[in-house]
Amino acid sequence: MIQFDQVTKKYPNGHQALSQVSFAIEPGQIAFLTGNSGAGKSTLLKLIMLLEKPSQGSVIVNKQNVAHIKRRHVPLYRRQIGMVHQNHQLLFDRSVFDNVALPLVVSGYQPKEIGRRVRAALDKVGLLSKEKLNPINLSGGEQQRVGIARAVVNKPSILLADEPTGNLDPDLSADTMDLFMQFSRVGVAVLIASHDLALIERYKHRQLALDKGRLLSGALG
Amino acid sequence: MGRNNMESRPPKRGASNRQVFWRDNIAAYFAQHRAVLSDTLDRLWSTPLSTLMTVAVVAVAIALPSGLYVLLANVQQVAKNWDGNAQISLFLKDSVDPSQAQNLLAKIEQQAHISRVEYISKEDALIEFEAVSGYTELLEEFDENPLPSVIVVYLDSPALDVAEHLKQQVIQWDEVQFAQLDAEWVRKLQSIVNLAKSIVIALAVGLALAVFLVVINTIRLAIENKKNEIEIHQLVGATNSFIRRPFLYIGAWFGLAGGVFAIFSVELLLLSLQASVTDLANQYQSQYLIQGMDFQSVLFILMASVSLGLSGAWIAVERHLAGYEFFAPKP
- Look up the ipTM and state it: 0.92
A43 in Cβ contact with A52 (< 8 Å): yes
Average pLDDT over residues B126-132: 79
What pLDDT is stored for residue B83 in this prediction? 55
More confident residue, B38 or B15: B38
Q: Would you say residue B149 has pLDDT above 70? A: yes
> Do A183 and A74 fall into the same domain?
yes
Residue A4 bridge partners (DSSP): A23, A59
Residue A85 lies in a domain: no
> Do A32 and A137 fall into the same domain?
no
b (16+ CB within 10 A) / e for B15-39: bebbebeeeeeebbeebbeeebeee
Residues of chain B with C-beta less than 8 angstroms from the C-beta of A113: 24
What pLDDT is stored for residue B331 in this prediction? 37
Asked if A53 lies within 8 A of B14 by C-beta distance, the reply is no
For residue A101, give the chain B residue with the closest CA.
Answer: B236
> Do B77 and B91 fall into the same domain?
no
> Do B91 and B169 fall into the same domain?
yes
B228 alpha carbon, distance to own chain's centre: 42
What separation in angstroms does the CA of B268 have from each of A19, B7, B53, B260? 72, 60, 20, 12
> Residue A56: which H helix or E strand, with range?
strand A56-61
What pLDDT is stored for residue A34 in this prediction? 92
Q: Would you say residue B3 has pLDDT above 50? A: no
Size of interface A-B (CB pairs under 8 A): 90
What pLDDT is stored for residue B309 in this prediction? 95
Residues of chain A with C-beta less than 8 angstroms from the C-beta of B232: 89, 91, 102
**Domain final residue pick, A155, A177, A207:** A155
What pLDDT is stored for residue B89 in this prediction? 86
CA distance B235 to A74: 10
B130 alpha carbon, distance to own chain's centre: 39
Q: What is the DSSP string of B239-250?
A: -HHHHHHHHHHH
A72-86, B29-43, B77-91: least confidently modelled range: B77-91
What count of other Cβ atoms lies within 10 Å of the Cβ of residue B318? 12
Name the percent of chain A lying above pLDDT 70: 99
**Nearest-neighbour CA in chain A from B214: distance (Å):** 26
What pLDDT is stored for residue B82 in this prediction? 60
Q: How many residues would you count in chain B?
A: 331
Residues of chain B with C-beta less than 8 angstroms from the C-beta of A157: 13-15
Q: Does A93 touch chain B (CB under 8 A)?
A: yes
DSSP state for residue B281 in the 8-state scheme: H
> Do A144 and A164 fall into the same domain?
no
Name the percent of chain B lying above pLDDT 90: 34
Residue A210 lies in a domain: yes
Pseudo-torsion of CA A176, A182, A185, A189, nearest 10°? Answer: -40
Q: What are the residues whose beta carbons fall under 8 Å from the beta carbon of A136, sequence distance 6 or more?
A: A92
Sheet of A2-10: strand order equals A16-25, A2-10, A56-61, A64-65
Q: Would you say residue B65 has pLDDT above 70? A: yes
Residue A38: pLDDT band (50, 70, 90) is confident
**Nearest-neighbour CA in chain A from B315: distance (Å):** 18
Average pLDDT over residues A48-59: 93
Q: Would you say residue B187 has pLDDT above 80? A: no
Please tell me the total count of domains within chain B: 2
What pLDDT is stored for residue B158 in this prediction? 66
Average pLDDT over residues B105-128: 84
Q: Would you say residue B123 has pLDDT above 90? A: no
Q: What is the pLDDT of residues B258-267, one digit of tens each?
A: 999 999 999 9
Q: Does B238 touch chain A (CB under 8 A)?
A: yes
Residue B109: pLDDT band (50, 70, 90) is confident
What separation in angstroms does the CA of A126 have from each of A81, A163, A179, B208? 22, 21, 11, 54
CA distance A215 to A20: 8
**Domain final residue pick, B163, B181, B199:** B181
For residue A123, the enclosing domain spans 91-155
Q: Does A155 touch chain B (CB under 8 A)?
A: yes
Residue B26 lies in a domain: no
Q: Would you say residue B141 has pLDDT above 80? A: no
What count of other Cβ atoms lies within 10 Å of the Cβ of residue B287? 9
Q: What is the DSSP string of B15-69?
A: GGGG---HHHHHHHHHHHHHHHHHHHHHHHHHSHHHHHHHHHHHHHHHHHHHHHH
Residue A98 lies in a domain: yes
Residue B205 lies in a domain: yes
Could you tell me where the DSSP H helices lie in chain A? 41-49, 74-78, 96-107, 111-124, 140-152, 170-185, 197-202
What pLDDT is stored for residue A170 in this prediction? 81
For residue B98, the enclosing domain spans 87-181
Cβ under 8 Å to B: A residues 59-78:
62, 71-72, 74-78
Q: How many residues would you count in chain A?
A: 221
> Do B220 and B259 fall into the same domain?
yes
Q: What is the pLDDT of residues A85-117, one digit of tens each?
A: 988 899 999 999 999 999 999 998 888 899 999
> Do B248 and B105 fall into the same domain?
no
Torsion sign over Cα B34, B37, B42, B45: negative
Sheet of B176-181: strand order equals B114-120, B150-155, B87-92, B176-181
Most confident of B72-81, B108-117, B177-186: B108-117
More confident residue, B143 or A208: A208
> Residue B268: which H helix or E strand, with range?
helix B240-283
Asked if A186 lies within 8 A of B11 by C-beta distance, the reply is no
> Do B166 and B202 fall into the same domain?
no
Q: Would you say residue B4 has pLDDT above 70? A: no
More confident residue, B22 or A17: A17
> Do B61 and B148 fall into the same domain?
no
A11-25, A168-182, B22-36, B227-241: least confidently modelled range: B22-36
What pLDDT is stored for residue B112 in this prediction? 81
> Do A99 and A150 fall into the same domain?
yes
What count of other Cβ atoms lies within 10 Å of the Cβ of residue A201? 9
Residues of chain A with C-beta less than 8 angstroms from the C-beta of B17: 154-155
Residues of chain B with C-beta less than 8 angstroms from the C-beta of A71: 326
Q: What is the pLDDT of residues A64-75, one digit of tens each?
A: 999 999 988 999
B256 alpha carbon, distance to own chain's centre: 16
Please tell me the total count of domains within chain A: 2
> Do A65 and A168 fall into the same domain?
yes
Output the domain CATH number for residue B104.
3.30.70.3040
**Domain final residue pick, B165, B181, B197:** B181
Residue A191 bridge partners (DSSP): A31, A160
Residue B11: pLDDT band (50, 70, 90) is very low
- Which among A134, A136, A108, A105 is positioned nearest to A118, based on CA atoms? A105
> Do A110 and A199 fall into the same domain?
no
CA distance A207 to A194: 10
Q: What is the mean pLDDT of chain B?
A: 82
> Residue B151: which H helix or E strand, with range?
strand B150-155
Q: What is the DSSP string of B215-261?
A: HHHHHHHHHHHTHHHHHHHHHTT--HHHHHHHHHHHHHHHHHHHHHH
CA distance B244 to B222: 12
CB hemisphere CA count around A76 (13 angstroms): 13
Name the percent of chain A lying above pLDDT 90: 70
